[in-house]
Amino acid sequence: MDKFKLAFFIVLSSFVISCEDLRFGDAFLEKPAGNEDNLDSVFARKVNAEQALVAVYATLPDFYSGQLSGNEFLESLTDLNNTSRDAGAVPKLYYSGQLTSSAAQGQLRFNYTSGGWPGIRKAWIFIENVDRVPDMTVEEKNIRKAEAKLIMAIHYFDMLRSFGGIPWVGRSYKPGDDMSDFHRMTVEETVGKITGLLDEAAYYLPWTTSSLDDGRMTKAAAMALKVRVLLFVASPLFNDDTPYMSGQAADELLVWYGNKDNRRWQDAVDAAEAFLEELKLRGGYALVDTGNPREDFRKAYFNRGNGEVLISTRARAKYPKGKNDDEAFFFATNDFGNANTTLDYVDMFQMSNGDEFDWNNPAHASYPFFDVNGDPVRDPRLYESVTVNGDDYQGRKAALWIGGVDRPTDAKTKTLAASGFCMRKFRQDIYSAAGKFYSFPYLRLPEIYLSYAEALNECGRSEEAYEYLNKVRRRVRMPDIEENSLTKEELREAILRERALEFGYEEVRFYDLVRWKREDIFKKKLRGLDIVSKDKGKTFEYRQFEIPVARCWQGAGWSPKWYLCPFPISEINKKHGLIQNPGW
């Protein structure tokens, strides 16, 4: 029996050993092997540290970023575009007026919880740790840190123009840190922080980049963004005798400066002049101008590295290949009506000779887009911003008449071109954009010209403004606006219109209307165009119609609260000092 026992013990112990290579204590409890890159190991090598900065870049905003859920355009909140869809945030929350502070953040025009703060945190982590990287030079580190700061400034500014003053986060937080007080800065403090970041960034950044670094932040980007920031805050939304709406946030100067001071316009002028001086000195940037206005304008917003785009953001590699392609992510919603350009926008484009377009002028009204020979009659930018009936489209003529290929019915909802028009910018005719490199022109050189012109006009230097307004018009071969032909107010309107014409679908118009508190434009009922053809596309009749999709702020439902976004109620309830914006 003892032999049997011994044999059994041997069998048992081999069983024990074979099914478990015997370890005890913490060694046994070790977790399965996996990724363990941490802060120390990442910032021990340049190649990893660079990747940490790439992740900061990846937080940059994108025009189709889904900030408004359902791939809606910010332009749909303006007079330029209308969405005729019944899904998505614009119809469901904005047009309907159902938006409250408890709406899911992912649906709003700016996502407070994830829109800017993650990028700011990533930027701080990079700035705080990059000095440890052994295989980077001090100069490299300074440049990279400046890039991170500039991206931070972009996030801060995007929040400033959506919310007003916001909390300052001056470092990356770790568990155990005091996280009890994140009150809002005043508008003035916020502007100070942003311009501070921009000045620091501009100090180290190179004016231009090599093609290897194409897409990275530059000194030109920093100085240009400063112009945009200062122009925005000099405008009446923040810089006025009264707040746009009263409330606690207004009392505490979180949504305005508290007074009207014309020096703020002068600051914008100074920033623009600083930029322009540097540009004169170093060159490197110019409007795309090869003498072919329509193509130049397209290249100006579409091509990356064209010398005109000062800040481009690149959330994607390429435009989708086509309507039915697997990659056709965001154009699909166009077909359901999110890209219905309004007739109001189309009518803003002058005749190519500089005359205002007028439906009461029979010559205009019978050939609004192309003359009898099929030649374009309007500002070339119209054809690159909006697909109009009869233009070249997918190798044929766009048939936007009722019953035509591109507008099969006169349905006013949920269809492509329900307004009689469709967005052309970025999208082009789909095929010409397909497969091309993707980037969003966050800030282009002409904006600096127009911002400078606008600030000059407000500072009483109107006569100098015309030159910069006309610089932008000349590129598309539109006639100059004659110097001193307009009053200050007329010139302001002309500049605002020029910005709309130049930057349609580039997220400029909405903020222009907001900063100028353009209640009058927000309230306006918008129009579309029914094009009727009795002979299948040979001759046309044009019938304007009022777009039936109602926006709650058109007319009596107007409230200035819409200028700024609500903070999410869940954030306010955390009681870290966040004060809600007026009206929400």
Partner 1 sequence: MSDPSKHVVSEKDGTFYLEVLGQGYVLVKVPGKEYKYATTGGEQTFILSERALVDNTGFSEKNSISKTQAISSVHSDFLSQFNDNSVWQSLYGTLPGLTVLQQLGWNATPTLYMRGGATFSGKAPLIIVDGFVRGVDKLSMEEVESVSVLKDGAATALYGAQGANGVIVFTTKRGAYKTRNVEVDYKFGLGLPWDMPSFVDAATYAYAMNEALVNDGLPKRYTDREIDAFRSGKYPELYPDVDWMDVGLRDFTTNHQFGVSFNGGGDNVRYYTYINYQNGLGLLKNTDLNEKYSTQMRKNKLSARVNLDLDLTKSTRITLNLFGNLGEDHTPSTGSPVAGFYKVPSSAFPIKTESGHWGASDKIKSNPVADVADVGYSNSYSRELQSDIRLKQDFSRWVKGLSAEVAVAYDNRAVFRESNKKTYSYEVLVPVLDDTSGEILSVSRNVFGEDKSLTYSSSLSGQRMSSTLEGRISYDRTIRKHGINTAVIYRQESSVPLGKAATRKYQSMMILGTYNYADRYIFDLVANYYGSSVLPKGDRFDLYPAVSVAWVVSNENFLNNCATIDLLKLRLSYGRSGFNSFGYDLDQQYYTGGNGYYFTSSNKEYGGMKLDVLPVKDLTSQLSERGNVGLDISLFSSLSVTMDVFHERRSRILQSAGSLYSSVLGTTTSQKCDGMVDAMGGDGAINYKGNLGEFRYNLGGSFSFVTTEVKQYHSNVEETYTSKIGKRLGQFFGLEAIGFFQDEEDIKTSPKQTFSAVQPGDVKYKDQNGDKKINSNDFRAFGYSTLMPEIYYGINIGFAWRNIGLDMQFQGTGNYSAVLKKSGVYQPMSGGANLSEWYWSENVRWTENTKQTANLPRLTTLANQNNTEDSTFWLADASYFTLRNVYLYYNLPQKLYEKMKLSGLQIYLKGENLFRIDKIKYSNPDHIGALYPDMRMLYAGINIKF
Taking CB under 8 A as the criterion, which residues in 140-179 touch partner 1?
Answer: 166-167, 169, 172-176, 179
| CA–CA distances in Å: residue 341 to residues 327, 455, 581 | 24, 29, 31
Is residue 168 within 8 Å of 185, Cβ to Cβ?
yes
Q: Say how many residues make up the chain.
A: 584
Q: From CA 158, how far away is CA 225, in angstroms rounded?
A: 11
Q: From CA 378, how far away is CA 343, in angstroms rounded?
A: 14
Q: From CA 185, how far away is CA 182, in angstroms rounded?
A: 9
Q: From CA 343, how far away is CA 346, in angstroms rounded?
A: 5
User: Closer to partner 1 at the Cβ: 58 or 402?
Assistant: 58
391-430 footprint of partner 1 as x/- string (CB under 8 A):
----------------------------------------
- Among 135, 137, 196, 214, which residue sits at the site for partner 1 (rule: CB under 8 A)? 214
User: Closer to partner 1 at the Cβ: 166 or 465?
Assistant: 166
Long-range contacts of 433-436 (CB under 8 A, 24+ apart): 433/302, 433/319, 434/319, 434/320, 434/321, 434/322, 434/325, 435/318, 435/319, 435/321, 436/302, 436/318, 436/319
User: Closer to partner 1 at the Cβ: 166 or 448?
Assistant: 166
User: Closer to partner 1 at the Cβ: 179 or 532?
Assistant: 179
User: Closer to partner 1 at the Cβ: 62 or 289?
Assistant: 62
Q: How far is the CB of 438 from partner 1 (least distance, A)?
A: 8
Number of residues that bind partner 1 (CB under 8 A): 84
Q: How far is the CB of 358 from partner 1 (least distance, A)?
A: 39
Produce one character per residue of 204-232: b if its CB has 16 or more CB atoms within 10 Å, e if not.
bbbbebeeeeebbbbbbbbbbbbbbbbbb
Site residues for partner 1, 2-41, by CB under 8 A, read: 4-5, 8-9, 12, 15-16, 19-20, 22, 24-26, 28-32, 34-39, 41
Q: How far is the CB of 420 from partner 1 (least distance, A)?
A: 25
What token pair was written down for 89? 């945030």
Stretch that binds partner 1, among 199-207, 328-336, 412-420, 431-439 (CB under 8 A): 431-439
- Among 402, 405, 550, 569, which residue sits at the site for partner 1 (rule: CB under 8 A)? 569
Q: From CA 436, how far away is CA 439, in angstroms rounded?
A: 9
Q: How far is the CB of 125 from partner 1 (least distance, A)?
A: 6
User: Closer to partner 1 at the Cβ: 6 or 363?
Assistant: 6
Q: How far is the CB of 550 from partner 1 (least distance, A)?
A: 13
What token pair was written down for 83? 């969405």
Q: How far is the CB of 242 from partner 1 (least distance, A)?
A: 28
- Among 66, 128, 154, 215, which residue sits at the site for partner 1 (rule: CB under 8 A)? 215
User: Closer to partner 1 at the Cβ: 184 or 475?
Assistant: 184
- Among 138, 281, 317, 556, which residue sits at the site for partner 1 (rule: CB under 8 A)? 317
Angle at 339 between CA 63 and CA 351, to 5 degrees: 100
Stretch that binds partner 1, among 73-81, 106-114, 239-247, 478-486 (CB under 8 A): 106-114
User: Closer to partner 1 at the Cβ: 1 or 281?
Assistant: 1
Q: What are phi and psi of 487, to 5 degrees?
A: -75, 170
DSSP letters along 315-379, please? SSSB--S-TTSTT--SGGGGGGTTTEE-HHHHHHSPBTTSPPP-TTSHHHHHSSSB-TTS-B-B-
Q: How far is the CB of 17 from partner 1 (least distance, A)?
A: 10
Stretch that binds partner 1, among 53-61, 237-245, 343-351, 377-385 (CB under 8 A): 53-61
Site residues for partner 1, 354-373, by CB under 8 A, read: none
Which letter does DSSP use for residue 299 in this model?
H
Which letter does DSSP use for residue 388 in this model?
-
User: Closer to partner 1 at the Cβ: 211 or 373?
Assistant: 211
User: Closer to partner 1 at the Cβ: 441 or 504?
Assistant: 441
Tell me: does residue 108 bind partner 1 (CB under 8 A): no
| Among the listed residues 482, 485, 461, the one whose alpha carbon sits nearest the alpha carbon of residue 473 | 482
Site residues for partner 1, 500-539, by CB under 8 A, read: none
Site residues for partner 1, 433-492, by CB under 8 A, read: 437-439
Q: How far is the CB of 57 from partner 1 (least distance, A)?
A: 4
The alpha carbon of 224 is separated from its chain's Cα centroid by a whole number of angstroms, namely: 15
Angle at 302 between CA 342 and CA 148, to 5 degrees: 110
Site residues for partner 1, 291-310, by CB under 8 A, read: 304-305
Q: How far is the CB of 449 from partner 1 (least distance, A)?
A: 25
Is residue 482 within 8 Å of 467, Cβ to Cβ?
no
Tokens 């953040």 belong to 105
Q: From CA 48, how far away is CA 438, in angstroms rounded?
A: 25
119-138 footprint of partner 1 as x/- string (CB under 8 A):
xxxx--x-------------
